Amino acid sequence: MSNERPSDKKPKIKASDLEGLKDLRAIAKLLERLHKVGTARDKAQNRDLHMDQYCLLVLMWLYNPILSSMRGLQEASNLKEVQKRLGVGRASLGSLSESVSVFDPEPLAALAEELGQKLPDRTPVNFSAIDKRITAVDGSVFKVLSQIAKLAWIPIGDGKHRCGYRLHTQFEVFRRTPSRIDLTPANPKGPSDERVVLEKTLESERCYLLDRGYEKYALWNAIHAKESQYVCRIRDNPTFEVLENRPLSEQAAKENILCDQIVRFGGEQTNQPPNHTTRVVMVKINPLDSRKRKDAISAPSSDGILRIVTNNLDIPAEIVAALYLLRWTIELYFRMIKQLLGCRHLLSHKPNGVTIQIYLAIIACIIIMSITGKSPTKRTYEMISFYLIGWATLEELEEHIKKLPDKVA
């Protein structure tokens, strides 16, 4: 017997509630390459739900506020109009829940990267001296998402949750799309440590923008060995010897830059100090006492000086400082991802299912940016959703797009 009270039951979903599905057919073409993923062990060739079909259903869920659960998604798959327009068959609740175990997210990740690379690189002129791909890195983005939308929080009773996964993300700042995402257990220790994950996934010709959680000499050495660069904030009490004080420009002084120094690091990590020349730029900022803030965990105290270390010795100090500030674009981007996912729960708590859902949200963001050519807002997502379900006209959507601000994130 069902535990639901009559008043709790939601009305059945009708095809008329899901207007605009024809617009997802273009995306279906992109996803066709995923059709055979997970079928290697299907010797009888009787799989009913293929990965491309699962992805289409999840995208329909992302763009449609009427669908609020896996059960709602399953119910929508019964509708003949949905089956016709998306090219999917009826999906059982069990197949939707269990099939992600055999769906490899990597081909979907490759598709997201491919689509992202088609977005124009809008690097401003003042950063043109950086001949690397400027890449912001964050190892706690999914935790931020969970705090806001409880996406990765698994209930343990009494209204409490525990975080299930940590999302390690590398984000190309001026292309405005992630270039890589790695999912690990939430506890940031051992192989899940954000510095360990980054070191294993380093690429050449990148300029990595890092926060102080990535302060590790071995990691800096590894980045330098890859012929890449790093711009990393360090803690307030670093141990280093000043080898040279470099002159500051008038512009640097206007931007509250206190000094630009060539240094030699020492102290607790001297068993593997930087094996290359390091440079520290210090910037005056407002002091912060985390004890007076409710978000003390995410906002550690600051003595009023922002210390930034880099292996790039050629660019002006003010550009070093500006590069570090770009790291926050990754958090702005994932705020947009959060808007796509809303305050909904994860459709799956399995690692593959979580990864697939996040990559589909990223693809949805890329599609929005391709449509608009600008940085979308929450209102943009709402307008596209309204258009897809038939509540807004194409003219109304286009009018909204014309009014969008043109900014980085």
- Whole-number pLDDT of residue 346: 64
Work out the number of other CB atoms within 10 angstroms of the CB of residue 191. 9
- pTM of structure: 0.70
Summarised one tens digit per residue, pLDDT across range 122-179 is 778 888 888 888 888 886 433 333 333 333 334 445 555 444 567 788 888 887 778 8
199 and 186 co-located in one domain: yes
60 and 198 co-located in one domain: no
Side-by-side strand order, sheet with 177-185: 177-185, 165-172, 133-138, 206-210, 229-233, 305-310, 278-284, 257-265, 240-246
180 and 328 co-located in one domain: yes
Residue 172 and residue 207: Cα distance in Å, rounded? Answer: 10
The answer to whether residue 214 scores a pLDDT higher than 80 is yes
Is 133 part of any domain? yes
Residue 115 and residue 94: Cα distance in Å, rounded? Answer: 31
The answer to whether residue 50 scores a pLDDT higher than 60 is yes
Contacts of 261-267 spanning 24+ positions with Cβ under 8 A: 262/313, 263/309, 264/240, 265/217, 265/238, 265/239, 265/240, 266/239, 266/240, 266/241, 267/238, 267/239, 267/240
The answer to whether residue 306 scores a pLDDT higher than 80 is yes
- Whole-number pLDDT of residue 345: 56
Is 306 part of any domain? yes
58 and 165 co-located in one domain: no
Residue 150 and residue 127: Cα distance in Å, rounded? Answer: 36
84 and 156 co-located in one domain: no
218 and 281 co-located in one domain: yes
**More confidently predicted of 25 and 361:** 361
Whether 224 contacts 271, CB under 8 Å: no
For residue 34, the 8-state DSSP code is G
- How many separate domains does the chain show? 2
138 and 23 co-located in one domain: no
- Whole-number pLDDT of residue 361: 80
Is 409 part of any domain? no
Band (pLDDT 50/70/90 cuts) for residue 279 is very high
Residue identified by tokens 């192989």 is 191
200 and 299 co-located in one domain: yes
- Whole-number pLDDT of residue 15: 55
> Dmax of the chain from CA atoms?
77
95 and 131 co-located in one domain: no
Is 164 part of any domain? yes
Whether 262 contacts 309, CB under 8 Å: no
Whether 368 contacts 377, CB under 8 Å: no
Six-digit token string for 117: 């690379």
Residue 300 and residue 296: Cα distance in Å, rounded? Answer: 6
Domain termination residue (choose one: 88, 104, 120): 104
- Whole-number pLDDT of residue 3: 38
Domain termination residue (choose one: 69, 104, 139): 104
Domain termination residue (choose one: 47, 76, 104): 104
CATH assignment of the domain containing 168: 3.90.350
- Whole-number pLDDT of residue 42: 62
Is 158 part of any domain? yes
Residue 370 and residue 393: Cα distance in Å, rounded? Answer: 19
Dump the DSSP string for 115-147. Answer: HHHTS-----GGGTT--SEEEEEES-HHHHHHH
Is 191 part of any domain? yes
Stated length of the chain: 409
The answer to whether residue 98 scores a pLDDT higher than 90 is no
Residue 184 and residue 192: Cα distance in Å, rounded? Answer: 6
Six-digit token string for 317: 């100090």
Residue 169 and residue 17: Cα distance in Å, rounded? Answer: 35
137 and 254 co-located in one domain: yes
77 and 195 co-located in one domain: no
The answer to whether residue 81 scores a pLDDT higher than 50 is yes
Is 62 part of any domain? yes
Residue 204 and residue 132: Cα distance in Å, rounded? Answer: 9
52 and 111 co-located in one domain: no
Domain carrying residue 88: 1-104
Is 290 part of any domain? yes
E strand map for 213-317: 229-233, 240-246, 257-265, 278-284, 305-310
